[in-house]
Amino acid sequence: MDKRKNKLVNVTILGIESSCDDTSASVLRNGVVLSNVIAGQKVHEAYGGVVPELASRAHQQNIIPVVHEALKQAGVSKEELSAVAFTGGPGLLGSLLVGTSFTKGFSTALNIPMIEVNHLQAHVLAHFIKQNEIDNNHPTFPFLCLLVSGGNSQIILVKAYNDMEVVGQTIDDAAGEAFDKCAKVMNLPYPGGPVIDKLAKEGNPKAFKLSKPQIPGYNYSFSGLKTSFLYLLRDELKKNPNFIEENKADLCASLQYTIIEILMDKLQKAARDLNVKGVAVAGGVSANSGLRAAFEEYAHKYHWEIFIPPFAYTTDNAAMVAMSGYFKYLHNEFAAMDTVPFSKLVI
């Protein structure tokens, strides 16, 4: 088969993700993942959060070796690629620029199209990545997706790969932010979500009663919870300076329990009112063991068909970018050479 015909039969997409502090490249062939390489950035650890300028510099150092490794692990040559997909936003502008500029050079050199991908949509479409040729375990449209990360908490009605409606979202902090900020006041390392998850396993989720927001509709709010957690610590520390140390597991368990209750309550209302039975979860917080267990529980109780991503696709990864690129490739949706990234981009 000549190279051109082969490209039509085997749609091979290279995905590039550089929206925050993970440089990632992935190769997918007809939606089947062949490689997914992620280089994290340890440089931010000392600062307790991502430093944008350091992130873009690290992306510049990482991007070529990461792409090289993704192609090598996939056993695919550059010439076999049908297109290159990249994250066009939302994210840190300097970080996005590295991926976008690399993509422009790469697609020009190889004379292949480039495809712009919305990072948030990519998290949702990660549910369509196939682990192998016979993997058919993906949602059918329409379905609901709870997208929970460090920057987002949204309930999305997914009608098609390119038609998503946000039916509820946070009016202040995101769920991941609530985990991270509460971890910080307990002097736990950043990012706090995974640490709280681990400590919560040893604690009593009902030990401390924390405030829950009373807002109408499907919107979320986490700032009140954060404040009530802060006040609890402040008041208890006055009585006992070792309060946090002595109650760490119970504090983590109670906080995690409350965040999950808030998330699941609105999600269940949306699923009920919109009469949707397919319910998925995506984003960094979807790695949380308590949230995963709550999904199983709700599936049983409300007869949901649930979709929980493998851990590799919960945090930022290029496989989800390549998957979104694959959908767009099939519909000839390509990006122009003068495309620029946007730090603020909505679904």
Name which of 191 and 325 has its Cβ closer to ligand KG4: 191
191 sits near ligand KG4 (criterion: CB under 6 A)? yes
Q: Which helix (H) or strand (E) holds 105?
A: helix 93-110
Looking at 241-314, which runs of residues are DSSP E strands? 278-282, 305-307
Name which of 284 and 325 has its Cβ closer to ligand KG4: 284
193 sits near ligand KG4 (criterion: CB under 6 A)? yes
| 185/188 Cα distance (integer angstroms) | 8
Joined tokens for residue 334: 């390509």
| 197/334 Cα distance (integer angstroms) | 40
Residues 6+ apart with CB under 8 A from 36: 24, 26, 70, 312, 317, 318, 319
- Kindly state the number of chain residues that form the binding site for ligand KG4, as judged by CB under 6 A: 19
DSSP state of 118: E
| 11/278 Cα distance (integer angstroms) | 28
194 sits near ligand KG4 (criterion: CB under 6 A)? yes
Among 13, 16, 20, 279, binds ligand KG4 (CB under 6 A): 20
CA 235 to chain centre: 35
31 sits near ligand KG4 (criterion: CB under 6 A)? no
Name which of 22 and 71 has its Cβ closer to ligand KG4: 22
Beta partners for residue 114, in sequence order: 84, 335
The DSSP bridge pattern shows strands 12-17 and 163-169 to be unpaired
Name which of 168 and 284 has its Cβ closer to ligand KG4: 284
315 sits near ligand KG4 (criterion: CB under 6 A)? yes
Name which of 45 and 133 has its Cβ closer to ligand KG4: 45
91 sits near ligand KG4 (criterion: CB under 6 A)? no
Name which of 49 and 241 has its Cβ closer to ligand KG4: 49
Among 15, 94, 168, 176, binds ligand KG4 (CB under 6 A): 176
Going by C-alpha positions, the residue among 227, 299, 291 that lies closest to residue 262 is 291
Q: Select from 78-86, 135-143, 189-197, 328-336 the region that touches ligand KG4 (CB under 6 A).
A: 189-197
Among 15, 89, 94, 284, binds ligand KG4 (CB under 6 A): 284
316 sits near ligand KG4 (criterion: CB under 6 A)? yes
The DSSP bridge pattern shows strands 114-118 and 83-89 to be parallel
179 sits near ligand KG4 (criterion: CB under 6 A)? yes
| 19/310 Cα distance (integer angstroms) | 20
151 sits near ligand KG4 (criterion: CB under 6 A)? yes
Residues that bind ligand KG4 (CB under 6 A): 20, 149-151, 176, 179-180, 191-194, 197, 283-285, 287-288, 315-316
